Structure 1
Amino acid sequence: MIDLVLIGAGTGHPDHLTLQGVRALQEADLVLIPRKGADKEDLAHLRRAMLDRHRPGGAVVEVDLPVRDAEMPYLQGVEAWHDAIAQAWAKAVDLPQGGTVAMLVWGDPSLYDSSLRIAARLDWRARVIPGITAIQALCAAHTIPLNSLGNEVRITTGRRLREAGFPPDADRVVVMLDGACAFSTLPPQGLRIWWGAYLGMPEQLLDAGPLAEAGPRIEGVRAAARAAHGWIMDCYLLARNDAH
């Protein structure tokens, strides 16, 4: 039997790894490092740096991940993609007598991450060690509370924001997995944005302000950063002006 430990690794800063996560890395028989192509090699490099610091000399296997077929309907394409990733994991792990495999997951494995769904396709036992989420890192970087006084917060994706707009019954919305600046599709009047990219990394970028003013700036900075690095991870908080 393979035991899979999914360890929340934060958003890029090596100190985001918890003491519980460090212990799990050190106790694992094998650490699996996923690679997402040459344009995202920085992410694999950061994982290697964490291992060099907390688990020097331990067994490590790197696995190239397949790419989602963008021509397929979204949910169908994601399911097929997850099937392929599960097969890649299984092929990369060679522990005939069983053992523990650890994997560092950006942010938190329970929040807009599919590692648990992928692991469920395999005959492995999975457990999670939570980490710092991108939402926590965003609010810390801007030194703001996540919620307005006594109110709830909605968490959604760029795709949903683009399709449904700003939820009429919410005063604050966190947007993740937005590859195309979905905030630019909203009427900007009365909205404020706090945005962050490469949170916790030396390349960290931040901007905030009324959406009508900050939105165009963010679009330009985001496009330039993505061109420079080949990839970008970002998220943002939107709020109605009377709720910030």
Structure 2
Amino acid sequence: MITLSLIGIGTGNPEHLTLQAIRALNAADLVLIPRKGESKADLAELRRAICAEIITNPATRMVEFDLPMRDPATPDYRRRVDDWHDAIAEAWRAAIAEGLPGDDGRVALLVWGDPSLYDSTLRIAARLGLPTEVIPGITSIQALAAAHAIPLNEIGAPFTVTTGRRLREGGWPEGVDTILVMLDGDCAFQGLAPEGLSIWWGAYVGMAEEITEAGPLAEAGARILARRAEARARHGWIMDIYLIRRAEA
């Protein structure tokens, strides 16, 4: 029987891997390495580097495959995502067939952060119908808090984790004074009235390329926009996250 291990790898720093993740990688017969095009070649290279440093089992094989792109012509967002996930699942199926010619073996896929948080790997894996185990990893939320040495919540207070799209379309969530924003390609904080807000931002958190900014949103916002644009132009991609808190919290 073919089994699938989804292994959270944190932000790409090999030191973020747990002992459980290291054991799972070394137990794998096949590791899948997705490629996202030339502009994001660093992401595949980071996965290769992690495997080279962590895997000591000479029998473990690696298969690389090109990750399908979302079709921007599909107007319905949910349909666009579902079609994309279907295509990715088929790419996985083909890569597994290439790496495991038989019908037995352990397949591993390295997942940025943790597979449980704003990641679709589990939904894609369900399309294959394979027995699946999840190895948790350090999230970008944890790495951001560590980079700034801040707690995520005020005493006894809740916080909301949301996306840039939801913040842009729905505004500040009700009932909370602290929000964590992920998957924000357009810097949705620009649509907030900055008075009384402070921001803690980080890109490539936990990696050698890590950059951070913090301060009142009215002052730090412009610095974040400039540093973000420069970093994206230099690397060809960016992963960033930020926490915003109301001063009265």
**Quick one: distance in 2 between partners of 1:70 and 1:220?**
27
| 1:89 maps to 2:92 | yes
| 1:139 maps to 2:145 | yes
Superposition deviation, residue 20 in structure 1: 0.3
Amino acid at match of 1:145: P
The range that moved more, 163-172 or 52-61, is 52-61
Question: What's the counterpart of residue 237 of structure 1?
Answer: 243
Amino acid at match of 2:86: D
Question: What's the counterpart of residue 15 of structure 1?
Answer: 15
SS at match of 2:51: helix
Question: What's the counterpart of residue 223 of structure 1?
Answer: 229
**How many residues are treated as equivalent by the alignment?**
243
**Quick one: distance in 1 between partners of 2:170 and 2:113?**
26
The range that moved more, 98-107 or 55-64, is 55-64
Question: What's the counterpart of residue 78 of structure 1?
Answer: 81
> Please, what TM-score do these two structures have when normalized by structure 1?
0.97
Contact 1:12 1:199 in 2 (8 A): no
Amino acid at match of 1:201: M
**Quick one: distance in 2 between partners of 1:212 and 1:168?**
22
Change (3 A) 1:123 1:168: closer
Question: What's the counterpart of residue 111 of structure 2?
Answer: 105
Given candidates 38, 62, 81, the residue that maps to 1:60 is: 62
Amino acid at match of 2:193: P
- The Cα offsets for residues 218-242 of structure 1, whole Å up to 9 and x where unpaired, read as 0111111111111000000011012
**Quick one: distance in 2 between partners of 1:168 and 1:241?**
16
Question: What's the counterpart of residue 169 of structure 2?
Answer: 163
Superposition deviation, residue 155 in structure 1: 0.5
| 1:4 maps to 2:4 | yes
SS at match of 1:128: strand
SS at match of 1:124: coil
**Quick one: distance in 2 between partners of 1:204 and 1:74?**
31
**Quick one: distance in 2 between partners of 1:108 and 1:74?**
24
**Quick one: distance in 1 between partners of 2:177 and 2:73?**
35
Amino acid at match of 1:61: V
SS at match of 1:7: strand
Superposition deviation, residue 71 in structure 1: 2.5
Given candidates 156, 172, 184, the residue that maps to 1:150 is: 156
**Quick one: distance in 2 between partners of 1:242 and 1:33?**
46
Superposition deviation, residue 216 in structure 1: 1.1
> Please, what TM-score do these two structures have when normalized by structure 2?
0.95
- The Cα offsets for residues 58-86 of structure 1, whole Å up to 9 and x where unpaired, read as 20011110001122222111100000000
Contact 1:40 1:231 in 2 (8 A): yes
Gaps of 5+ in 2: none
**Quick one: distance in 2 between partners of 1:44 and 1:209?**
34
The range that moved more, 162-171 or 48-57, is 48-57
SS at match of 2:214: strand
Superposition deviation, residue 160 in structure 1: 0.1
Gaps of 5+ in 1: none
Amino acid at match of 1:66: P
